[in-house]
Every structure is written in C-alpha cells, then in structure tokens.
Chains A and B, each alone.
Chain A
Amino acid sequence: MVAVITSNNRAKYREQLNQMHRDRKKVFVDRWKWSVPVVDGQYEIDQFDTDDAVYLLGLDRLTHTHLSSVRLLPTTRPYLLGSLFDELCEEAPPESDDTWEITRYCEAPEWPKPSARAAGDKISIALVEFALLHGISRYVCVTHAAMLSQVLAEGWECEPLGLPKEINGESLMAIAMKVSTATLQLLRQRYGERYPVIELEARAEAA
C-alpha cells in the first residue's frame, strides 16, 4: 500500500518519514555521492522538505516500514527544477496548479531488491492516482539521461523541457510526464493491479 503524507497527517507517519530520510541519505549521499545536506549525520533533508511537500510512501504490508518513496512539490511554490536546475529548461520553468514536480525517488537500500522494486512499481501507479485525484495533468522532473528510456518504456508520455546538460559530471535533463486515465490503465495493467494502491483515508462527513 502507498500512504499519502501531507502536512496534515505527518505526525501519524513520523517514524516512516524518518526511515525515508535515512534511506534517502544512504541512497543519494552514500551511494550516489550527491552533495546534498545531511542532518544529524543520518537524514537527507533539504530546503524543499517543507510543509508544501507531499510524500508518497510505499510501506511493507506487515511491518509498515518504508520500502519506496517520492517527494512531490507544487510548481506554484519553490521547487527543485525551478530553483536550482532552471538552466535545464529552454523556456521559463513551469509554474501552474496542474503541474507538480517529482523528486527523490528512493527504494529502501536494505530491503531485498525485488520487494523494494515491487513497492516502486506501486509508487508509479500511486503517482497517477494522486494526480487524477488532485487535478494534476503533468509532472515535471530532473532526471539522469540514462533513465529516460526506462521512464518511456514504463508507459509515460514524456516531453523534453530542454536539451540534456552536463552538470557536475552527470548528464541531466528536465522532462514533463503527462498524466491521464489512459496512463493509469496502462500502469495498472502492466503491474497487475486492479484496485487503487493509495490508501484513502475515509473522510467522515458530519451527518
């Protein structure tokens, strides 16, 4: 299952969010050697981990521990591509209610890969479900050039926002990924999911 975590329900998922920040440190700092801030020597937390951020967390069914996650940011607030990588955009970086940014896709490094990857597949579906629920028509992201083929092969309809550039020795690019009900059908079919993967908290309306 995939939990949607916003500033409203953050307290309930404090432990899972801490795990996510620890795993992000292991993946992005220790393994990929990104120069991003580390808090208390063990948490990767940057200036975009604010109340504006929404996290999709893939959790283990039994233990509810962190298996996979992404961070989503509205482009109407400060976001990574718009603030730090705007040189990757040919025109001004997007800024609109129906466009959100995906960053920090992470699979828990200490879990066996197939489990973490299966949870990653659910994150892909959750991204589309979240978008359709919130009226988001496209995501944007900064990605390594090597990832583009895999994003395309997963079924996302992509559009480049600018040409790839060499930044800190890595070939990076900015892309937009369009979201529609067709994307949802395609991904559900690909991963054999018949039902929504995001956990919907029932909204009890006063009678």
Chain B
Amino acid sequence: MSLFWDVQDFVREVNRVTTFQELSELMSSMSKMLGFDYFALVHHVELVAPEVIDIENYPSGWREMIIERKYTSDDPILVACEHTNVGFRWSDIHRWISLSKRQKEILDGARTAGIGEGFTVPVHIPGEYAGSCSFSLRLNRRFDDSTMPAAQFVGCFGFEAARRVLHAQRLEAGKETPALPRLTPRQLDCVVLAAAGKSDWDAAQLLGISDQTVHQHIEDAKRRYGVATRLQLVVRALFDGQLTFRDIVH
C-alpha cells in the first residue's frame, strides 16, 4: 500500500502539535512507520546555542559526543546539505565532498554509536539558520529506497512544525522575533552591486539612477545597520540573510 495516506495523516497531525515533546513523539512514530530507527530535526549550529531546533532520538551518548567534540560544523552530512536542496542518502555524499580526516572520524563515531545508513532532507530558508531532517537506521540494517519520497515530505513538514513551535515559544516568552534592520529593495540592489565590486557609477548605469542616488542608498543602508564601512554592510546583510551568496556570485 502506498505510504501516501500515512504521509497525509502525518501532515494533518503535525500541523496540530504545539510542543517539541509532541513533535518528537510524532516524528519518532512516523520515522518507524517509514522503516527508520532514528530521526534528527536540527538547525546546523552548535546544539548548545539558545533558541535552535534540536530534536532527535539517537542512541544515548551520540548527542553528547556531538556537543562535547563540536562536531556540528564539520559533520559531513550537514556539510553535504550545502550542496543540494533535495533529500539524499548518506552513502551518496561522496558526490559533493571528499572527506577530511575529522569528517571520517565523525562518521566512524556515528557507526560506533550504532547508527548506519541514513537519509537527510536539507531545509534552506532565506534569513534563517540552515537546517535539516535526517532519518537513519541501526547499523547493518538495509536501506529501502522506496521510502525516500515519503521521507522527503515528512522531513519538510516536520521541520516546518518545529519552526512554528519555536516561534510560538518565543512569542510566549515575550520575545518578538529579533527585529533586524530591514533594507528597502532599492538599498539591497545597491548593496548587491557594491558586494559584487561595482563602483557607484557602474551601479548607477545598471540601475538606471544617478550615482549620487546609489551613494545615498548605500549610506542610508549603513545607517540602518549602524556600520561604518561598505564591507561591514555587506557582511551584516549576508549574515542576516537579506543577501545570499547567490545574489553576489550569480
């Protein structure tokens, strides 16, 4: 029978969860239904950082190891997420990355903890931490390719539910989502071109406005961020996700 109906039931249920605990239980039972043993719904930042998504049911000890040895930024599965935007099998990451010594150590560590093959759905949302949802098997269990399409859906909807719960918790704690300085589209146009190394004059030609206006947009943007230089402006806009690297390199 098609897993589709299970996925549809899951979507309905996951839209109703209000706590990380409920979400964790639902993800746990859904990953079992898909034939997996473990799941991990995470933001790709050090897991001790405040206000991040971090829900998983890995064998005991593995999460502690990740935190203690600061594996997150080098974890080859998470690094592979930067190279693709659809779900991938862990054994396929060699397509994008050649493993460093430390990355081999991380994969060996996971195996020692009893974790075998897995499938990870990357989640890229502009202006937010990169994240992902992974499903994995106990060591030596065989991976069933036919579950990948359903896992893709479950990963996306699961992650969205986690975002929603996180947001609600912030509101409840009286914290607004941090108010970042917002740049106007025109200011951003000018920042993109400045980041690409264009002079005010070049930018003016490209945008069909005067170079004084370009200069003014950049100055206004710097004031909104409270920074002194163009470089700082570009770095801040990149960090906040108002700019993405694609805006600059394309």
Interface residues of A (CB under 8 A from B): 90, 112-115, 117-118, 144-146, 148-150, 152-153, 157-160, 162-165, 171, 173, 192
Interface residues of B in 1-37 (CB under 8 A from A): 2-5, 7-8, 11, 15
Residue of B nearest to A156 (CB): B160
Assess whether A163 is in contact with B156, with CB atoms less than 8 Å apart. Answer: no
Residue of A nearest to B163 (CB): A153
Interface residues of B (CB under 8 A from A): 2-5, 7-8, 11, 15, 85-87, 123-126, 128, 149-150, 152-153, 156-157, 159-160, 163, 182-183, 185-186, 188-189, 192-193, 206-207, 247, 250
Residues of B within 8 A of A165 (CB): 149
Residue of B nearest to A63 (CB): B208
Residues of A within 8 A of B3 (CB): 163
Assess whether A163 is in contact with B149, with CB atoms less than 8 Å apart. Answer: yes
A153 to B127, CA, bound (A): 11
Residues of B within 8 A of A171 (CB): 86, 149, 152
B interface majority secondary structure? helix
Assess whether A163 is in contact with B2, with CB atoms less than 8 Å apart. Answer: yes
Residues of A within 8 A of B247 (CB): 113-114
Residues of B within 8 A of A144 (CB): 86
Residue B159 contacts which of A114, A149, A162 (CB distance < 8 angstroms)? A149
A105 to B8, CA, bound (A): 26
Assess whether B11 is in contact with A152, with CB atoms less than 8 Å apart. Answer: no
Residue of B nearest to A192 (CB): B182
Residues of B within 8 A of A112 (CB): 188-189, 192-193, 206-207
Residues of A within 8 A of B8 (CB): 159-160
User: When A and B form their complex, which 4 residue pairs have the shortest distance between CB atoms, in order from nearest?
Assistant: A114-B188, A146-B85, A112-B189, A118-B185
Residues of B within 8 A of A115 (CB): 185-186, 188-189
Q: Tell me the minimal C-beta distance from B208 to chain A in angstroms.
A: 8
Residue of A nearest to B87 (CB): A145
